């Protein structure tokens, strides 16, 4: 049967390829979306773990954690909680760098643990007003070095050093003092988030629940999954992934079904001969179904490659690599392959059934 399927595809390469491309587009879309979604989860995980914190505190029920507004003075009250070892406020500035709007600027306290844990490759930390340190990723993109001038929201800052943290959007961003960041936002008493370090032996989830009970209006986030659920954007992305998977299945299955139905009509004589020499209905149906699956597997292979490569190219073309890097894991590739196989099976069912309903005698008689 395998040789028969391959021979059929070889005789009609153009039609098989066009149908496979329909499957490929659906699979590529799924792989790209799932990869970007996983990348966003990793970015969210880095956001809540700024400065090696165990928990990130944000305003409750905001559409996105980066839109959170908290009183910076809350950090002092948190430090007095028994299970908390340290707490420091952080102000996020989005699209504040004209040279690279995708880069995030972090306003931190110079003596807080976020600033203290930076590893400097060149120069040193920003200690005074209008000083800035940048990640090695941003420094490489903009050709920056200590002594350079960097404009942040139309204000000139002197670059004091280049650091590395291992967190994507930190290394693609910049760090200024909390006071400077608050001055740029016009909110001198506020911060976006408060990063918290827990005491030794304190269970993270227990601490999160205790903080939320003690400070109403706060959301305590300690994992990427919690961060993705905290904002409406993360929920929308998850729902969009489901919708696109279903649409890809429907569109791909229709494409395969259309190709296989045309094949059944063109090969009525072939199927009639097969039935006349003893092939059973299930055997004929199996040939048609196998051809549909083979086309979908070919399309899935093309789609996996397009999705993996295309998602990275798209992120760089849009200039949002500071926010997200697609994570094309084995599970993402497996999901894409399963969708491709499902397209072949679903799309081949009806043509396979039609092939078994062709009466051999009238077909062989030329009627």
What pLDDT does residue 84 have?
Answer: 92
Distance CA 108, CA 120 (A): 16
Distance CA 303, CA 21 (A): 8
Q: How many CB atoms lie within 10 A of CB 41?
A: 20
Residue in the block written with tokens 């649409």:
247
Tokens of 286: 């199996």
Are the CB atoms for 132 and 126 separated by under 8 Å? yes
The answer on pLDDT for 207 being more than 70 is: yes
Instruction: Among 51-55, 59-63, 210-214, 314-318, name the most confident range.
Output: 210-214
Are the CB atoms for 355 and 295 separated by under 8 Å? no
What pLDDT does residue 11 have?
Answer: 66
What pLDDT does residue 232 have?
Answer: 44
The answer on pLDDT for 8 being more than 70 is: no
The answer on pLDDT for 97 being more than 60 is: yes
> Residue 122's beta-bridge partner residues?
162
**What is the three-class DSSP state of 150?**
strand
Tokens of 298: 């070919």
The answer on pLDDT for 236 being more than 60 is: no
The answer on pLDDT for 264 being more than 60 is: yes
| Confidence at 40, pLDDT banded by 50, 70, 90 | low
Which whole number is the average pLDDT over 339-367? 71
Instruction: Among 115-129, 222-236, 237-251, 299-313, name the most confident range.
Output: 115-129
Which whole number is the average pLDDT over 234-251? 65
Range with the poorest average pLDDT among 51-55, 189-193, 206-210, 306-310? 51-55
As a whole-number percent, the residues of the chain with pLDDT over 70 amount to 78
Beta-strand pair 119-123/104-108: unpaired
What pLDDT does residue 330 have?
Answer: 87
What pLDDT does residue 125 have?
Answer: 92
More confident of the two residues 147 and 288: 147
Domain spans of the chain, in order of start? 2-43+234-364, 50-221
How confident is the prediction for the chain on average, in pLDDT?
Answer: 81
What pLDDT does residue 344 have?
Answer: 79
The answer on pLDDT for 177 being more than 80 is: yes
Range with the poorest average pLDDT among 58-67, 179-188, 304-313? 58-67
The answer on pLDDT for 21 being more than 70 is: yes
| Confidence at 221, pLDDT banded by 50, 70, 90 | confident
> Residue 108's beta-bridge partner residues?
90, 177
List, in order, residues 6 or more apart from 239 with CB less than 8 Å away: none
The answer on pLDDT for 254 being more than 80 is: no
List, in order, residues 6 or more apart from 250 with CB less than 8 Å away: none
What pLDDT does residue 74 have?
Answer: 94
| Confidence at 349, pLDDT banded by 50, 70, 90 | confident
């Amino acid at each position: 049967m395998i040789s028969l399927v391959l021979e059929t595809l070889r005789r009609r390469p153009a039609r098989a390829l066009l149908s496979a491309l329909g499957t490929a587009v659906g699979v590529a879309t799924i792989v790209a979306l799932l990869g970007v979604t996983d990348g966003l989860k990793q970015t969210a995980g880095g956001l809540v773990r700024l400065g090696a914190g165990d928990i990130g505190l944000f305003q409750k029920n905001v559409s996105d954690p980066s839109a959170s507004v908290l009183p910076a003075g809350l950090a002092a009250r948190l430090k007095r909680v028994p299970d908390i070892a340290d707490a420091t406020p952080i102000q996020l500035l989005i699209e504040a760098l004209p040279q690279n709007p995708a880069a995030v600027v972090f306003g931190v306290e110079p003596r807080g643990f976020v600033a203290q844990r930076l590893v400097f490759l060149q120069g040193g930390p920003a200690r005074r007003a209008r000083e800035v340190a940048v990640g090695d990723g941003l420094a490489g993109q903009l050709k920056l070095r200590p002594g350079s001038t960097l404009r942040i929201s139309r204000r000139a800052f002197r670059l004091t050093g280049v650091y590395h943290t291992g967190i994507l959007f930190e290394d693609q961003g910049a760090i200024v003092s909390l006071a400077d960041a608050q001055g740029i936002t016009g909110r001198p008493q506020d911060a976006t988030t408060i990063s918290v370090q827990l005491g030794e032996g304190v269970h993270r989830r227990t601490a999160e629940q205790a903080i939320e009970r003690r400070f109403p209006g706060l959301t305590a986030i300690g994992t990427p999954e919690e961060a993705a659920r905290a904002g409406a954007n993360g929920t929308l992305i998850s729902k969009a992934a489901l919708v696109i998977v279903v649409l890809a299945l429907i569109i791909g299955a229709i494409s395969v079904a259309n190709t296989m139905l045309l094949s059944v009509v063109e090969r009525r004589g072939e199927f009639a001969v097969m039935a006349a020499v003893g092939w059973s209905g299930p055997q004929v149906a199996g040939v048609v179904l196998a051809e549909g699956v083979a086309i979908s597997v070919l399309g899935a292979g093309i789609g996996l490659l397009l999705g993996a490569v295309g998602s990275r190219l798209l992120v760089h073309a849009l200039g949002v690599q500071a926010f997200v890097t697609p994570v094309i894991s084995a599970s993402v590739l497996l999901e894409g392959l399963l969708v491709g196989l499902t397209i072949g099976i679903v799309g081949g069912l009806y043509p396979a059934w039609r092939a078994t309903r062709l009466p051999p005698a009238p077909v062989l008689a030329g009627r």
